Amino acid sequence: MSANCKNTNKRLLIINVDTGIDDAQAIMMALADPDVKILAICTSHGNSTIKNTTINTLKLLTAIQRTNVSMNYILTIPVYRGCGHSLVIQPPRGDDYFGKDGFGDYDGLPTPNLDLVKPEHAVLAMIRLVKEYPDKITLVNLAPFTNLAMAHRMYPEFSNQLKDCFLMGGNYQGKGNITPSAEFNFYVDVEAAKVVLTEFVCEMYIATWELCMDSALPWSVYDELREIPSTKAKLMKELESKLIDGWKSMDPYTLCGELAMATFLKQQSITDSTYVSADVECNGSLTRGQMVVDWRNKWGKKPNVHIVTKMNMVLVVELLTRVYEE
């Protein structure tokens, strides 16, 4: 164990992302918490290609100056490139909600040098880190579950050596966003989601699509956050500039990755949850990717996941405000 982490009381964190705009905001939430040390940001396919999601992550970190100039712009947060394809079936591209590049198709940021990415594969990095810090690392997953499932397959003790997991994905009322019955992160790699949900042994908390919809905020909250005079607020406003009018015409201000991050950063933001046994439908012609909850214990299995059903959105907004006032 490195001296820096051995002698700290900070909470150790790995973030798995397919960096789109919600993931960018969630990453900044973690960076704004002085009690959290991010050991790795691992990228995944999802919102866009693995190349784009990795570039997006680098663009974010360099734009908010998470680099060490004296070390020729070495990132102060290690970034590892992960899997670029689902375990079994790669579904068609989604609806480009965050733009074709997953980052608002904004061309105002320079393309970063990919040499900033660590040479080690993200899956191998996650395995190495849990071995180095057993029972001390929290994993927050904001992307399809491919990297997590691969880590488990390559090192079956992976989840046993995690402290806990906070996940964004799935649906517990059968409401979908990418299909009528499936949430995006589950649907993009259904088999990987099933591996994580049914085989991980650490405590898992999941922020589902229904939670995102039920916790949606008025657009006035978004406007207030973006009007905070800071570099980060200006950056986000620019990234969203080509998308925001379309978003506002469809739904309230809906947070996704930010909610999963908030459940980790401030667990008292969880005001209601249910501990249940859940699985993922892999074969249904209409329901592939849907999370199935055994509400009446028909399977006779122990609960495996805490489904967060309600959050204190005042606390969530406080976490977001801290990002932009930092």
| 159, containing H or E segment | none
**Residue from 18, 23, 33, 189 carrying the catalytic annotation:** 18
Q: Under DSSP, is residue 217 helix (H, G, I), strand (E, B) or coil? A: strand
Burial class (CB in 10 A: 0-12, 13-18, 19+), 12: buried
Kindly state the tokens that stand for 110.
């320079």
Strands 291-293 and 278-280, by their bridges, are antiparallel
* Cβ(267)–Cβ(11) below 8 Å: no
Taking alpha carbons only, the member of 108, 101, 144 closest to residue 236 is 108
Kindly state the tokens that stand for 214.
């039920």
Q: Tell me the one-letter amino acid at 60.
A: L
* Cβ(309)–Cβ(274) below 8 Å: yes
DSSP 70: G
Q: Whole-angstrom Cα distance, residue 158 to residue 168?
A: 19
* Cβ(265)–Cβ(36) below 8 Å: yes
Return contacts of 90-93, CB within 8 angstroms, 24+ apart: 91/187, 91/188
Q: What are phi and psi of 62, to 5 degrees?
A: -75, -35
Kindly state the tokens that stand for 80.
């590892």
Kindly state the tokens that stand for 253.
């201000």
Sign of the four-CA dihedral 292, 298, 300, 302: positive
214 given a catalytic annotation:
no
The CA angle 158-127-206, to the nearest 5 degrees, is: 50
Catalytic residues: 18
